[in-house]
Amino acid sequence: MKKTFLIIAAAMLTLAGCKPDDNTVTPTPDNPAEGVAEETYAGGQLGTTFNQSASAFEDPTPAVEQAGMVNAFKYGEFFFEHTMTQNNPPFMGLGPLYVRSSCEACHPGYGHGRRMERYRADDWANGYLLVVFNKNTGAYETSVAGMPQTKAVPPFKPSIDEEKISIAWLGYVDEWGNRFPDGETYDLIYPEVTIPEDAFYAPLATPYGELAFRLESTIGIYGTGLLDAIPDDSLKAQYQKEEAAGAQLNPAIWAGGDWASLYGNTNHPKRFTYALSRGPLQDAAGANAIWNIPNVTRSDRRSHYLSLNKSIYATAASQDPEVQSLFYHYFPQWNVSGDPQTDIYNYLMCDTLPAEMTDKDYVDFMVWHRGLAVPAARNLGDSTIQRGRKLFREMGCASCHRPGWTTGADNFTDPNGFFSDADARLPRYPYQKIWPYTDMVQHRLFMVNDIRTGWCRTTPLWGRGLSPICSGHADRLHDCRARNVIEAIMWHGCPGSDARWTVEKFRKLSKADRDAVVKFINAI
Amino acid sequence: MAVAVTATAFAFAACTDENKDNQGTQPGDDSDQRAAAVATQFVDNTVAPTYTALAERAELLAFQLAALKTAPTQPGLEEACNTFLAAREEWEKSEAFLFGAAGDFGIDPHIDSWPLDEDAFATLMNSPAMLAALDAEDGDVVAGERLGNALLGFHGIEYILFADGHAKNVSDISASQWTYVAAVAGDLRNRCYQLEVGWMGGKAPASHIAKLDDIELAYTVAGSGNSYGDNMKNAGQAGSTYMSRKAAVMAIVQGCSDIADEVGSSKIYSAWHGEDITYIESPYSHMSIIDFHNNIVSIQNAYLGGVEGQRDDSKSVHAFVKAINSSLDARVINAIENALAKIDAMPAPFVQHYADPANGQAVEACNALSEVLDEVIETIRKN
């Protein structure tokens, strides 16, 4: 039944493709050259770079250049690339718990994290965040952070001892025996994460036996400014269209023809992260991560990122005799009461900490963040790529990996109030035709050891074909379980998957056509 | 309306141009053959000799510091400082090719992060267990795995060996500091092996390959198992990450543009314009300007078809560009020479003269070099 609905949906989308309404269509022009001309500019005229070498994810957009913000962009870039220190300006942070010592360590070449055989915060390109949650309810474990920290500044101890974490890569055989009808085979693997109870520093809030562990990798950062410029009402129209087509949508996000929840206290929808936990970019992705990954405080974030229930970690640390004995040695300025237990607790719970990052540096950082260009699509005029492009649309992949959007006026907002609406200090991308290949909506693939909650926002495909050059790997999906495009596609075909029907079509393609689809995906 | 028409016209014209990606040369034609020769010459005569020299010097530095750890002497320290500077010179001469192994394995931030985290360093000096681990036979591996980038690499070693631009007095270096610096130099050597073996594959010394295998450091291109050198030489063929030979040449020039931009826009500009000393790299050895100079030399070596003494003009990017647009090539040559001249005119040491107006001229020269190299990339892309 669902399949029928989805086929109808696909037909509707194809029909809709004939309408000249930018934000409701997936254009498939009769003349391929027409599509090539427009789609090559993946980030639009204001957001595309033609760099296709190792630094392709690192360039400023034309909008940054036209606004005279290149120097600010370069300053901001420092804070992404540099290893943070405890007290050496201007790169201060890390305290007292942290996930990584630099942003780039998680986003190799500014791109997607790499598949790892072990979890070590200092292993380059390890973009994994640990996800610790109640397997019955899906709720995060509150004795650790939402992004649990495995590193700490002395005398503090990390929330989880990373040397006790194991990642086993297990083989998976799908119902087709990992084999296409023409006999070609593929391999599928997935991670099984184990964290023993004694690896946790603070008392668990959930019985250990009820906990589950997963990995979620970083994705590329480029183009997030452009995604932020997609109008809220265009997102809403996308949900309406998918709902009308019979697609199942996450009831926590959308229900009964309208938003079920919006971002924080704003009237903006959620649009960033796999879990759709974030709304406007100025309080999402990097704006958040510079604070809670290397733990850098700034004027509008003057507290520590600790356990979800902060007092659990603060209490454990304050009662730890080893921490007590060394606290005043490392933090003499916090000897307020003479009682280390009290002072440790107050230090950890403090929300008036000094800012480690200046406001100017934060503005530059956000110029950089909002200013990263998307690599232009490569060789779209190639006949094989054109064939792949056509098949991608015909099979229905484009239903979720929606090719094109048009940005609005881009009068962006900041839920924190640090930036004013359409703040002139940041680059903007008004009325750009962009090609991210995502519907910005969550769907479910029902994979073994699936992502927490099962709902995952469709990841943009733009630029990903350059990952081997820019990031040194071709790994895909939220936990990097796919080592190439074919594996990524086939993981979409699990029983019950929202994309099952497209994978069934993909399986039936000839080898040449499957290769054309892969070549197209690597070209955009 | 006029603006809109212009924009539309631009979009149409630009889009037409974009379709030329990798269609201007076809496998087997003359331009494609020349691109292949450029890539091979770059791998064998620019990258390989630079990383070979870097690995040799880093190996010597690790050897000298291991000896000094047990028997420190002032002449020995000064010799090690010279070795450090020699290794540093090769590293800076490699920064036009930070793509490939240096980027994929995170070697650049691993061995060249700054500033040193002084608080973390102080903690380490008071951590007997960690110092004992660094003092053990596998201290190099412990350093690489446990210290974190802010305590590793050239700048950690520089912090111990140098003060105010000179070798320290050997009596000012504590036993714990010798333990630290010897272990960090061992890790630096390992990572320089990783660069060398990463690009040269089986042509690198067998002992270096064996060391990497022993400590389980990866050195091949993910997916194919090829060396980075073969990956570039095989551009356009199955298994290479470069979709064409022309893309390989563009990657070489992009690497040059990126480092020219970094020297101008970041390394010099940030300290000069911001008048902020905290943005200065290599402050302890007073080698910042030498570093900048060698970065431009790395561009020269990449563009002219080899390190000095191993150049083959006929197989250079220079000749490749000259065949397409000789005046553009002449502008690149002039821009390289101008950048070197303006950097050499900066008053040394940078850490004491970072606000000098001459630095602004060096910024302009580096930015101009980056811009003309970007023109080269665009020209190659469209031809």
% chain B with pLDDT above 70: 92
What ipTM was estimated for this complex? Answer: 0.91
Q: Quick check: B109 and A474 CB within 8 A? A: no
Q: Is residue B1 part of a domain?
A: no
Q: What is the pLDDT of residue A37?
A: 83
Of B233, B263, B286, the one marking the end of a domain is: B233
Of A26 and A518, the one with more pLDDT: A518
CA distance B301 to B259: 13
User: Among residues 140-169 of chain B, which lie with CB inside 8 Å of chain A?
Assistant: 145-146, 148-150
- Please indicate, yes or no, whether residues B225 and B257 belong to a single structural domain of this protein: no
Mean pLDDT over residues A439-450, rounded?
Answer: 98
In a domain, B12, yes or no: no
Distance of CA B159 to the CA centre of its chain: 20
Q: Encode pLDDT of B259-289 as tens digits.
A: 999 999 888 998 888 767 777 877 788 889 9
- Smallest Cβ–Cβ distance between A124 and the set B105, B255, B274 belongs to B105
Do B229 and B243 sit in the same domain of this protein? no
What local confidence, expressed as pLDDT, does residue A7 receive? 32
Q: Tell me, what's the pLDDT at B29?
A: 73
Alpha helices in chain B (DSSP H): 2-18, 30-42, 48-70, 74-92, 101-104, 107-112, 118-125, 128-135, 139-146, 154-161, 175-200, 206-214, 228-233, 245-261, 269-274, 288-304, 317-324, 326-344, 350-353, 357-382
Residue B174 and residue B90 share a domain = yes
Q: In chain A, which residue's Cα lies nearest the Cα of B123?
A: A154
- Round to whole Å and give the CA distance between A243 and A240: 5
Q: Which residue of B has its CA nearest to A109?
A: B103
> For chain B, how many structural domains are there in total?
2
Tokens 């903006």 correspond to: A268
Alpha-carbon gap: A380 to the closest alpha carbon of chain B (Å): 7
Does A89 sit within 8 Å of B18, measured CB to CB?
Answer: no
pLDDT of A306 > 50? The answer is yes
Q: Over 60: is that where the pLDDT of A27 sits?
A: no
CA B237 from chain centre, in angstroms, equals: 27
Q: Are B153 and B206 contained in the same domain?
A: yes
Residues B292 and B225 in one domain: no
- Residues in B closer than 8 angstroms to A153, CB to CB, are 120
- Residue A411 CB contacts under 8 Å (≥ 6 apart), including other chains: A421, A422
Same domain, B260 and B168: no
Tell me the residues of chain A between 45 and 64 that have a Cβ less than 8 Å away from chain B. Answer: 45, 50-55
What is the nearest CA distance from B327 to chain A, expressed in angstroms? 23
The pLDDT-based confidence of B5 (bands split at 50, 70, 90) is very low
* pLDDT value at A194 more than 70: yes
Q: Output the pTM of the full model.
A: 0.92
| pLDDT for residue A352 | 97
| Interchain CB distance below 8 Å, A74 and B381 | no
Q: Over 50: is that where the pLDDT of A28 sits?
A: no
Instruction: Kindly state whether residues B64 and B81 are assigned to the same domain.
Output: yes
pLDDT digit string, tens, across residues B286-323: 889 999 999 999 999 999 999 999 999 999 999 999 99
Domain-by-domain residue ranges, chain A? 2-127+161-199+218-302+354-523
A102 touches chain B (CB under 8 A): yes
**What's the angle, vertex CA B362, arms to CA B360 and CA B368, rounded to 5?**
105
Q: Does A34 touch chain B (CB under 8 A)?
A: no
Encode pLDDT of A158-189 as tens digits: 999 999 999 999 999 999 999 999 999 999 99
- Residue B82 and residue B59: Cα distance in Å, rounded? 13
Give residue A436's pLDDT band: very low, low, confident or very high (50, 70, 90).
very high
Residues 35-64 of B with CB under 8 A from A: none
At B58, which CATH number? 1.20.1420.20
Q: Residues B211-227: what's their mean pLDDT?
A: 95
The answer to whether residue B114 sits within a structural domain is yes
CB contacts of A34 in chain B (<8 Å) are none
Which of B233, B252, B280 finishes a domain? B233
B154 with B260, same domain: the answer is no
Q: Is the same domain home to B212 and B295?
A: no
| A83 interaction partners in chain B (CB closer than 8 Å) | 109, 113, 117, 148-150
- The pLDDT assigned to A2 comes to 32
In a domain, B4, yes or no: no
In a domain, B6, yes or no: no
* Residues from chain B contacting residue A376 (CB–CB below 8 Å): 18
Classified as helix, coil or strand, A433 is: strand
Question: Which A residues, 218 through 247, put their C-beta within 8 Å of a C-beta on chain B?
Answer: none
Assess if residue B145 is contained within a domain.
yes
* A380 inside 8 A of chain B by CB: yes
* For residue A141, pLDDT beyond 50: yes
How distant, in Å, are the alpha carbons of A326, A401, A472, A519, B174 from that of A443? 49, 11, 28, 24, 59
Q: What is the pLDDT of residue B26?
A: 60
**Domain limits for position B63:** 44-233
Mean pLDDT of B191-218: 98
Q: Output the pLDDT for position A407.
A: 98
**pLDDT at residue number B17:** 42
What's the pLDDT at B272?
86
Closest residue to A85, CB basis, from B16, B120, B250: B120
Question: Are residue B229 and residue B280 in the same domain, yes or no?
Answer: no
Structure token digits, residue B168: 């320290």
Query: For residue A114, what are the CA distances in angstroms to A224, A480, A483, A490?
Result: 20, 7, 9, 19
- Asked if residues A86 and A96 have their Cβ atoms less than 8 Å apart, the reply is no
Q: List B residues 221-250 in contact with A (Cβ-Cβ < 8 A).
A: 221-223, 241-243, 247, 250
Cβ-defined contact of B222 to A45 (cutoff 8 Å): no
- pLDDT at residue B275, rounded to an integer: 65
Domain C-terminal end among B233, B260, B275:
B233
Among chain A residues, the shortest Cα distance to B150 is held by A83
CB contact under 8 A, B251 and A469: yes
Q: Provide the mean pLDDT of chain A.
A: 93
Confirm if B288 and B281 have CB atoms less than 8 A apart.
yes
Nearest CA in chain A to B144: A122
Do B162 and B101 share a structural domain?
A: yes
User: How far B278 CA sits from the closest chain A CA (Å)?
Assistant: 6
